[in-house]
A and B are shown apart, each in its own frame.
Chain A
Amino acid sequence: MQANQINAILSGTRSVLEGHLGMQVSSGKPTLQVNPVFSGQISVIVGMTGMLKVDLILGMTQKAVCAIISKMFGGMEIQEIDDMGWSAFSEFGNWVGAACCTELMNNGYEVNITPPIINEGESKFRSVHKFISIPFQVDENEIMVHVSAQQS
């Protein structure tokens, strides 16, 4: 994993949260994650393939997911997540993946996204690849951004 790859992915993720959803984002200190990676209550997993193989996991609480969905619905209050809410959250994953692809392309890596997967319920991810984990403070919620990138 190289710094410019990680930075591109963080920049893409941030651009969706700040630029499109209007949320305030501040990032914390990155750490190298030793297995397992904790999912949070809900996580969205975005894959990218091409010159790089990237796994991006955004783990958060249900409250954080509701806050994101609320923004996507133009500020409507969201207490529970129904099918349309899950569709919106999956689309959020799609936007993040695409924004990261654009940033990686700008850094010379041609990549494409795979459809996002949502993991509901706390679990542990185990992988042969190492992840870098960065906490994002997003308005009053925290989102853990876990990134793994390998040259293809």
Chain B
Amino acid sequence: MSKRILIVDDASFMRMMIKGFLTKHGYTIADEAANGMEAVEKYKQTTPDLVTMDITMPEMDGIEAVKAIRQMDPNAKIIMCSAMGQQNMVVQAIQAGARDFIVKPFQEDRVIEAIKKVLT
């Protein structure tokens, strides 16, 4: 059975792009969320195998969402996908519990490589 992924980004364009990459490589889309609060809700509802998480989002940012999800599920696998790639942001994300950090704009193979690495 293919792995199920929750895509979190406030830009519908980015959700569409990531969805395209993932389905092309045989992953199933568990659901999508447009902000951190929705991400936490959808995680509870769908229990995906992995989450791709943006940082700068309304309602609740991605770092806070990672913390909230990891509190519910300490084994949650989350990869940050954000345009904000400064060192302090990466450190914050990893300290919150993210497994990897991909800086936007990203190439398809970088995303797939990161997902494969986290899911094995």
Contact = CB atoms under 8 A, between A and B. Distances in A.
Interface of A: 16, 20, 72, 83-84, 87-88, 90-91, 94-95, 97-99, 101-102, 105, 110, 112-113, 115
Nearest to B11: A91
Contacts of B84: 98, 101, 112-113
B45 to A, nearest CB: 24
Interface stretch (B12-20, B22-30, B65-73): B12-20
Contacts of B10: 115
Chain A contact residues: helix, strand, loop or mixed: helix
B54 to A, nearest CB: 9
Interface string B48-78: 0000000010100000000000000000000
Interface string B81-112: 01111101000000000000000110000000
B23 to A, nearest CB: 16
Nearest to A19: B105
14 contacts: A16-B105, A84-B16, A88-B13, A94-B56, A94-B83, A95-B83, A98-B82, A98-B83, A98-B84, A101-B86, A102-B85, A105-B86, A113-B56, A115-B10
A143 to B, nearest CB: 18
A105 to B, nearest CB: 5
Contacts of B16: 84
A91 B14 contact: yes
Contacts of A91: 11, 13-14, 104
B13 A20 contact: no
A98 B85 contact: yes
Q: Give the residue among B16, B88, B105 with the most A Cβ atoms within 10 A.
A: B105
Given A94-B83, A115-B58, A20 B12 contact: no
Q: Give the residue among A72, A94, A99, A113 with the most B Cβ atoms within 10 A.
A: A94
Nearest to A69: B13
A102 to B, nearest CB: 6
B105 A95 contact: yes
A90 B12 CA distance: 10
Q: Give the residue among A87, A95, A101, A110 with the most B Cβ atoms within 10 A.
A: A87
Contacts of A113: 56, 83-84
